[in-house]
A and B are shown apart, each in its own frame.
Chain A
Amino acid sequence: MLVKKIIIPLIFLSVTIGKAQDLSLSGYARTYLGALTTGESEYSVIQNTFDLNIEHSRGDVYFKVNPFLYHYSDEKLELGIRQAYLDLYFDSFDIRIGKQQIIWGKADGVFITDIVSPKDMREFLLPDFNEIRVGVTALRFNYYLDNSTFELVWIPVFTSTQMPDHSSIWSLQPEYLLPYSVDYSNTDVKDKLGNSEIFAKYSLLSSAIDFELMAAYSWDDDPAFHSEKIINQNVGIVDSVVLKPEHHRLTTLGGSFSTTLGPLVLRGEGAYYTGKNFQSINPALDEGVVEKDYIHYLVGIDYTIGDLKLSSQFIQQAVMDYDDYLINDEFENTITFLATMDFLRETVNVELFSYIGLNDRDALIRPKVTYDFVDGFQIMLGANLFIGNEGQFGRYDKNDMVYTKLKYSF
């Protein structure tokens, strides 16, 4: 009943606004079915999606609203606004106001300087990247000088990473030997001017090289888990822990570049972060976290052999002033690999993408085949295979899945 109540007004809204002059409507409808390959082959996802872009422009003013709707097999509905913003165009600068996805950097599938829009990790890294990026309410100012762009972003209200529910197969339970509870009283960042985030970027697109330089004074999208030890007064020892997730200020300086070397495209991206709180088992620490700086960078190449397109990236995260009490490794190394090829006049695409964790010898391997049955209608078959037992991919070893997606774009 709830479904009908919401869908009918949506359809009516679409039809009504579709008649308005110069209003552009585009988007897609998609059905997505995934099944685990382990255990009893339970369905991991049964989801229908409707994603609509409503656009209108008048002279140098443009607006866009991007509502979306996810419908699940249990009749649960999720209705949201991915983006809703207004653009003002001037001769040498633009202003964008409203909820928007802001994507920076040259990396593929890795987030280094791309820290403006937080992530929706409720299905780990599996959704399309357009769905992983959460829109932020922001004021964005872009000034253009020849092929240079100066960008300034003010985010007055903090938005954190969206994490999966405890019942989700993507949920990560903290690993503690003692019983624990979670206290979220310090988790929210209060909406006030002093809690704003500021991001700045200079970018150049030129014949020789493209590069970006960025700086940010923001909040860490992922909370640090402070812990409070609870002492059993009867026996005088710690017998449980209260976890208190808390966001901390993060200052970031970074950059990225991309250039061609004959048939190769060479890319790089790196950033230095200060203010990150890492989890530690140092018994001298009261709250189980310690502040450390860290570096995150990658180098990557894109290469084409005939119709086969190849791409690979090496990524390293290094913690400064490392001590052995940290849960994180001092160096965490990851490789990504992409191979993609088109067939039958580009109506069939075969792709293999993988993340490979070198520290834990784990991986996520994502083969898929896409067929454009007719223009704008795609049939996709794919798999997500988690290799290993630990590490950021191996810990999901039981979540191997095959899936199919049918997508109609209009």
Chain B
Amino acid sequence: MKLGNVITLTLLTGVLFSLSIFAQENLTGRKIIENVYYRPTGDDSKSDLTMTLINSRGDERVREIQQFSKDFGEEEKNIMFFLSPADVRNTSFMNWSYEEEGRDDDQWIYLPALKKTKRISSDSKSDYFMGSDFTYDDLGDRHPSEDTHKLLREETFGGEECYVVESIPIEDDYMYSRTITWIIKDKWIGLKKEFYDEDDEHLKNLTVEKYDKIDGYWVITHSVMHNIQKDHKTIMILKNVNINTGLDDGMFTERMMKRGI
């Protein structure tokens, strides 16, 4: 199981919380993406995440996670407890991310078989998360400053008025040559995203199947990432979402990583 990178899952729990307070006039592509990235997400949240990995033959593998996050002002802490499959049960992962630009996340993984908490590097954000079709960047940690953004057009998609924004990485050897995102105008939710590989071939589609307003925030609760080239996909479903429940600071410590839920 690969857990080597940032897992804020903000696409599901953070980026997709949205407010409609942003001005919608004279918006640039950069500003639209920033509006999605920088918006209030509540002080804390907890939820149950189920990922279903489906290969080209239709075989399914299911990963279940319980996750908690809390905003501490200058830093955000996130902890995840793996419930299934059985051989990774009781594994936990903790991430501390910082507002300070350029500062790397701090990450630890607790491995119950070794009974050890290991510090790991957060360097490879292009890695796929738990064998799914989502990279760590896809899960919401990619900062708007890492790409140049261009507003291509405005159009109706899925019954919603959307901005269509093309994002091209500044870094030369990034795994995507570009992405195109459909963003709902009044909710700042990415409703669909197309990913193109280094040869500019269409690689993946992310589509949002369902989103709900929970505790005053929009939350995507059902999304699908489809790898077109390999014809496998990952379904992400979020349940039991609770926001601003007053999570204790002690939840985000080595003590809890070892103790579990």
- A interface, CB within 8 angstroms of B: 26, 28, 89, 94, 101-103, 106, 128-130, 133, 142, 144, 147, 149, 203, 205, 207, 210, 258-260, 262-265, 302-304, 306-307, 309, 342, 345-347, 374-376, 378, 407, 409-410
Contacts and interface: CB of A to CB of B under 8 A. Distances in A.
Nearest to A345: B131
B131 to A, nearest CB: 3
Contacts of A345: 53, 55, 128, 131-132, 232
B119 A265 contact: yes
Interface string B103-116: 01010100001111
A101 B115 contact: yes
A175 B85 CA distance: 49
A142 to B, nearest CB: 8
Given A149-B255, A376-B85, 8 more contacts: A26-B89, A89-B259, A103-B114, A207-B96, A258-B119, A260-B119, A306-B124, A309-B4
A186 to B, nearest CB: 33
A177 to B, nearest CB: 42
B119 A375 contact: no
A63 B124 CA distance: 38
B124 A210 contact: no
Nearest to B252: A147
B86 A409 contact: yes
A264 B253 CA distance: 23
Interface in B82-128: 84-87, 89, 96, 104, 106, 108, 113-124, 127-128
B246 interface: no
Interface in B213-260: 232, 250, 253-255, 259
A408 B186 CA distance: 49
Contacts of B131: 342, 345-347
B253 A147 contact: yes
Nearest to B63: A375
B108 A265 contact: no
**Size range of the interface on B?**
35 or more
Contacts of A376: 85-87
B130 interface: yes
Q: Is the interface of A mostly helix, strand, loop or mixed?
A: strand
A103 B116 contact: yes
A304 B123 contact: yes
Given A346-B1, A346-B130, A375 B61 contact: yes
Q: Give the top 3 A-B pairs by smallest Cβ distance, nearest first.
A: A346-B131, A375-B85, A409-B86
Given A103-B114, A149-B255, A302 B250 contact: no
A310 to B, nearest CB: 11
A15 B254 CA distance: 34
B2 interface: yes
Contacts of A94: 255, 259
Contacts of A410: 86
5 contacts: A94-B259, A106-B118, A130-B115, A306-B124, A345-B53
B170 interface: no
A75 to B, nearest CB: 29
- Which of A207, A262, A345, A347 has the most chain B CB atoms inside 10 A of its CB? A345
Nearest to B106: A207
B62 interface: yes
Nearest to A203: B254
Nearest to A378: B87
B106 A260 contact: yes
Nearest to B115: A103
Pick from A128, A263, A264, A407 the residue with the most CB of B within 10 Å: A263
A26 B108 CA distance: 24
B188 to A, nearest CB: 30
B254 A129 contact: no
A128 B113 contact: yes
A144 B253 contact: yes
Given A345-B128, A347-B131, A260 B115 contact: no
A210 B119 contact: yes
Contacts of B121: 260, 262-265, 302-304
Interface in B13-28: none
A130 B108 CA distance: 20
Contact of A205 (B62, B115, B254): B254
A352 B89 CA distance: 24
A265 B117 CA distance: 13
Given A260-B106, A345-B53, A409-B85, A205 B232 contact: no
A302 B123 CA distance: 12
A130 B53 CA distance: 29
A117 to B, nearest CB: 9
A410 B121 CA distance: 30
Nearest to A259: B119
Contacts of A409: 85-87, 89
A102 B258 CA distance: 12
Nearest to A257: B119
B155 to A, nearest CB: 34
A260 B104 contact: yes
A263 B254 contact: no
A263 B116 contact: no
Given A210-B119, A307-B127, A147 B254 contact: yes
Contacts of A374: 61
B152 to A, nearest CB: 32
B84 A375 contact: yes
A307 B128 CA distance: 9
Nearest to A207: B106
